[in-house]
């Protein structure tokens, strides 16, 4: 069955780079698109960006200058890297597969010194 | 970017009530809209896809409608387990979420 699971550091220092991994199973990354969505504590959801089956990427214009999404199809993993983190990047980060029906459980990332 | 405006932001209703949640897009999104339910500490759960298609396993009391810029999620008879926050999500272009409607029991 389709599964996604996010992993990464729970704490990142301000100005540093966040690196997250989404490990998927039950589908192929070459035929499907995986996206990242985040949710600050107590707030709404924000689409960050995604990587398509052909390897092309789309990014939220507000994050584009700081964000990079890539993948390793052999390991069924999608990666998120975002630099210059600030406290307002504190959030739960989710990965989801198009048509946005299956989601990981999310990983909480706190930006703090 | 397409803005999604949900209303109301907070809705109080009684068990058995018919409940309507609204979502308005800043431009035509061609029915490319999903509805999600999110409970505290959980990932969003897809209820309705492409405006009016019920996701597998979702109770039939949930339904969606709309076109152009205006969309609606209806719960025909509110149940206690429906207490949650509901988000609309457009994927027509530059995907965006609405800010959510928090549904509580009166």
Contact B12, B105 (CB under 8 A): yes
Residue A63 C-beta-side C-alpha neighbours within 13 Å: 23
Report which of A113, A2, A103, A96 is spatially closest to residue A50, judged by C-alpha positions. Answer: A96
How many CB atoms within 10 Å of residue A54?
8
Tens-place pLDDT, residues A26-69 = 999 999 999 999 999 999 999 999 999 999 999 999 999 999 99
Are residues A45 and B95, on separate chains, in Cβ contact within 8 Å? no
Tens-place pLDDT, residues B38-58 = 999 899 999 999 999 999 999
Contacts of B97 in chain A (CB under 8 A): 37, 44-47
Q: How far is CA A95 from CA A20, A52, B64, in A?
A: 10, 13, 25
Which candidate from B1, B89, B98 shows the least CB-CB separation from A100? B89
Buried b (16+ CB within 10 A) or exposed e, A61-98: eebeebbebebeeeebbbbbebeebeeebbbbbbbbbe
Size of interface A-B (CB pairs under 8 A): 41
Tens-place pLDDT, residues A78-112 = 999 999 999 999 999 999 999 999 999 999 999 99
- Relative to beta strand A107-111, strand A91-97 is antiparallel
Mean pLDDT confidence for A1-25: 97
Q: What is the pLDDT of residue B94?
A: 87
Are residues A101 and B96, on separate chains, in Cβ contact within 8 Å? no
Are residues B94 and A61, on separate chains, in Cβ contact within 8 Å? yes
Report which of A112, A113, A102 is spatially closest to residue A6, judged by C-alpha positions. Answer: A102
pLDDT tens string, chain B, 106 residues long: the values are 999 999 999 999 999 999 999 999 999 999 999 999 999 989 999 999 999 999 999 999 999 999 999 999 999 999 999 999 999 999 999 899 999 999 999 9
Helix, strand, coil percent values for chain A (each to nearest 5): 5, 50, 45
Are residues A47 and B95, on separate chains, in Cβ contact within 8 Å? yes
Burial (Cβ within 10 Å: 0-12, 13-18, ≥19) of residue A57 = middle
Q: How far apart are CA A68 and CA A91, in angstroms?
A: 17
Q: What is the pLDDT of residue B23?
A: 98
Q: What is the pLDDT of residue B72?
A: 98
Residue whose structure tokens are 């298609």: B53
């Amino acid at each position: 069955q389709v599964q996604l699971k996010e992993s990464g550091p729970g704490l990142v220092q301000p100005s540093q780079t966040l690196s997250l991994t989404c490990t998927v199973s039950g589908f192929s990354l070459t035929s499907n698109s995986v996206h990242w969505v985040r949710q600050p504590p107590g707030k709404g959801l924000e689409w960050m960006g995604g990587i398509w089956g052909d390897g092309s990427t789309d990014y939220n214009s507000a994050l584009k200058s700081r964000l990079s999404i890539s993948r390793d199809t052999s390991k069924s993993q999608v990666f998120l890297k975002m630099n210059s983190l600030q406290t307002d990047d504190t959030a739960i980060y989710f990965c989801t597969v198009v048509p946005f029906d299956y989601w990981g459980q999310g990983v909480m990332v706190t930006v703090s010194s | 970017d397409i803005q999604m405006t949900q209303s109301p932001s907070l809705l109080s209703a009684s068990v058995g009530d018919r409940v309507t949640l609204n979502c308005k897009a800043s431009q035509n999104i061609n029915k490319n809209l999903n509805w999600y339910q999110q409970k505290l500490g959980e990932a969003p759960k897809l209820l309705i896809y492409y405006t009016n298609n019920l996701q597998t396993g979702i109770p039939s009391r949930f339904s969606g409608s709309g076109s152009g810029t205006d969309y609606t999620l209806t719960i025909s008879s509110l149940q206690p387990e429906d207490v949650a926050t509901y988000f609309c999500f457009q994927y027509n272009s530059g995907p965006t979420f609405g800010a959510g409607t928090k549904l509580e029991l009166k």
